[in-house]
Amino acid sequence: MIHQYKMKDMNIVLDINSGAVHIVDNMLYDIIEKLEIGQSLLEISQSMANVYIEEDIDEAFEEVNKLIQEKQLFTSNRYHSVVDTFKQRETVVKALCLHIAHDCNLSCGYCFAEEGEYHGDRSMMSLEVGREAVDFLLNNSGSRKNLEIDFFGGEPLMNFDVVKGIVEYAKNKEAEYHKNFRFTITTNGVLLTDEIIHFINENMYNVVLSIDGRKEVHDLMRPTPNGKGSYDLILPKLLQVAESRNQKNYYVRGTFTHNNLDFANDVLHLADLGFKQISVEPVVAPDNRAYALKEEDLPTLFEQYDYLAEKMLHYREEGKEFNFFHFMIDLKQGPCVSKRMTGCGAGSEYLAVTPEGDLYPCHQFVGIEDKKMGSVYGGLKRMDIQAEFKACNLFSKEACTSCWAKFYCGGGCNANAYNFFGDIHQVYPMACELEKKRVECAIYLKARETFRI
């Protein structure tokens, strides 16, 4: 399978099954396109004879042949053979998302936690539940060394003493169990203090700071409960966190909606404020919400990604380089095939824990009663749910099997599919279109960076 596209003056060819990426000239681009639809070399050279000279065409054919021999072009799909063993693989739990607080001090319009409450009542995780969750992870992670705990909410800083207690408890167990915990936290920043920032910097591998971009954009969707915007309240604190972490191992994380289709300007706003690690992503919302993204928004959003990519090149030239999460791509030492096939690991390697200790396939399934998998007390009970998620991979989803972006994407968000179609084996086409566009931009930027062109 081949995917080829042009971006600016660059012709890019992806050989999907091998992961190879080539930058080619116009003639080779045309040849590959014709080969992909099954034309013979003779047909191709005849059809090109009045555009290119014969020697050049022959030379290009030779280069194509070389790539084919080196298994970097038109490679076949050898993955179906591993799918069956893959489904039966042993999995262990390696990551937990702890819902430290089902409560929030902001009232963000698009929050899938519904102002922190997740279809239920406001509640806080106790230290006891937290400790039990750590034990559950230790006992269910097999020989996996790196374990992840994400403090999530609602707003986890509303229950920060428990966060501290859990970190301390887990760290005390590391040596005995030969494990290495990586803690992360997602916060809206409202309650950040010097002391909390210090604790986060000492203990957290990554911190995700919620901010949407320009003040008016942010304040519209992220008000305090009394209706005032929260931008002015949080910005100085977020800047402090970013600086105190030397601009590494954090993300400012925004959401764009139908209200700010020109979201590239929000990304650039965050970059202009001095943030270096930026993630601004499409809202996930039911179609009937006014702020939901609509299919007719796609062309505008594509233009925005293109615009952002060019802007990032300019910023880099001017020494103001920054990272945009979804344009980051590791082409050389990226994840192995097995990771690319499993995707997010929800429901098998990754689980969410509610304040009461209930287990769900991931944070976005929390509160959906028939996806409750068990409890940190007593462990996993619904092995059928685990099996369902484990069996869900790139090759179990029809749309993904035939999608060129599959090995970059990993198969999309199961929660998204479930929310829209009630079935985790579906894909949500809007998300796919955006994902594919981002992969194209990411590879383009990588090529510009690598070849300095």
409 forms part of the interface with ligand SF4 (CB under 6 A): yes
Scanning 56-64, 101-109, 156-164, 236-244 for contacts with other proteins by CB under 8 A, the matching segment is: 56-64
| Shortest distance, position 76 Cβ to ligand SF4, whole Å | 19
Could you tell which of other proteins, ligand SF4, none binds residue 234, using a CB distance below 5 to 8 A set by kind?
Answer: none
Q: Determine whether 45 is exposed, middle or buried from the number of CB atoms within 10 Å of its CB (0-12, 13-18, 19+).
A: middle
Binding region for other proteins (CB under 8 A) out of 191-199, 279-287, 295-303, 307-315: 279-287
Q: Provide the mask over 381-420, with x wherever binding to other proteins is found by CB under 8 A and - wherever it is not.
A: --------------------------xxxxxxx--x----
Helix, strand, coil % in the chain, rounded to nearest 5: 45, 15, 35
103, 123 contact by CB (below 8 A): yes
Residue type, 420: F
Beta bridge partners of residue 184, listed in sequence order: 150, 206
- Going residue by residue from 306 to 325, which x/- string records binding to other proteins, judged by CB under 8 A? -------------------x
333 scored as a contact of other proteins (CB under 8 A): yes
Determine which residue in the list 189, 345, 355, 374 makes contact with other proteins, applying CB under 8 A: 345
Torsion of CA 315, 318, 323, 327, to 10 degrees: 50
Whole-number minimum distance, CB 96 to other proteins, in Å? 9
> Is the Cβ of residue 103 or residue 150 nearer to ligand SF4 in the bound state?
150
Q: How far is the CB of 43 from ligand SF4 (least distance, A)?
A: 31
Q: Which amino acid is located at 56 in the chain? A: D
Residue 152 near other proteins by CB under 8 A: yes
Q: Measured on CA atoms in the order 151, 255, 373, 341, is the torsion positive or negative?
A: negative
- Quick one: what does residue 439 bind among ligand SF4, other proteins, none, with the CB cut-off 5 to 8 Å set by partner type? other proteins
Half-sphere exposure of 390 (CA within 13 A, CB side): 18
> Does 67 participate in binding other proteins (rule CB under 8 A)?
yes
In angstroms, the CA 286 to CA 315 distance is 35
Instruction: Give the contacts of 318 (CB within 8 A, at least 6 positions apart).
Output: none
Q: How far apart are CA 90 and CA 110, in angstroms?
A: 37
Greatest alpha-carbon span in the chain:
77
Which of positions 239-268 make contact with other proteins (CB under 8 A)?
251, 253
Q: Minimum distance from CB of 100 to other proteins (Å)?
A: 14
Confirm if 179 and 227 have CB atoms less than 8 A apart: no
Of these, 304, 364, 375, 393, which contacts ligand SF4 (CB under 6 A)?
364
Non-local (6+) Cβ contacts of 20 within 8 A are: 14, 67, 72, 73, 75
Distance, in Å, from the CA atom of 154 to the CA atom of 265, rounded to the nearest integer, reads: 27
Nearer to ligand SF4, 30 or 150 (CB): 150
Phi-psi region at 209: left, alpha or beta (left = phi > 0; alpha = psi -120 to 50)? beta
Distances (CA, A) of 356 to 13, 81, 376: 50, 42, 9
In the complex, residue closest to ligand SF4 by CB: 412
435 binds ligand SF4 (CB under 6 A): yes
Pick what 403 binds: ligand SF4, other proteins, none; C-beta below 5 to 8 Å, kind-dependent: ligand SF4
Q: Which stretch binds other proteins (CB under 8 A): 42-50, 146-154, 158-166, 194-202?
A: 146-154
Considering the complex, what minimum distance in angstroms separates the CB of residue 19 from other proteins?
A: 4
What is the C-alpha to C-alpha distance for residues 59 and 116, in angstroms, rounded to an integer?
62
Q: Which of residues 1-40 bind ligand SF4 (CB under 6 A)?
A: none
Residues 308/323, Cβ–Cβ less than 8 Å: no
Residue located via tokens 């910023």: 315
Cβ closest to other proteins, residue 226 vs residue 333: 333
Q: Which stretch binds other proteins (CB under 8 A): 167-175, 304-312, 353-361, 441-449?
A: 441-449
End-to-end CA distance of the chain: 27
In terms of CB distance, is 148 or 435 closer to ligand SF4? Answer: 435
Residues near other proteins (CB under 8 A), total: 88
Token readout for 130 is 């937290």
447 binds, among ligand SF4, other proteins, none (CB under 5 to 8 A by kind): other proteins
**Joined tokens for residue 90:** 């042993």
* Binding-site partner at residue 399 among ligand SF4, other proteins, none, CB < 5 to 8 Å by type: ligand SF4
User: Least distance in Å: CB of 374 to other proteins?
Assistant: 19
Sites for other proteins among residues 177-196 (CB under 8 A): 182, 184, 186
CB atoms < 10 A from the CB of 379, how many? 13
**Closest C-alpha to 282, from 425, 154, 432:** 432
Give least dist CB 104 to ligand SF4, A: 18
* Residues in touch with ligand SF4 (CB under 6 A): 344, 346, 350, 362, 364, 397, 399-400, 403, 405-406, 409, 411-416, 427, 432, 435-436
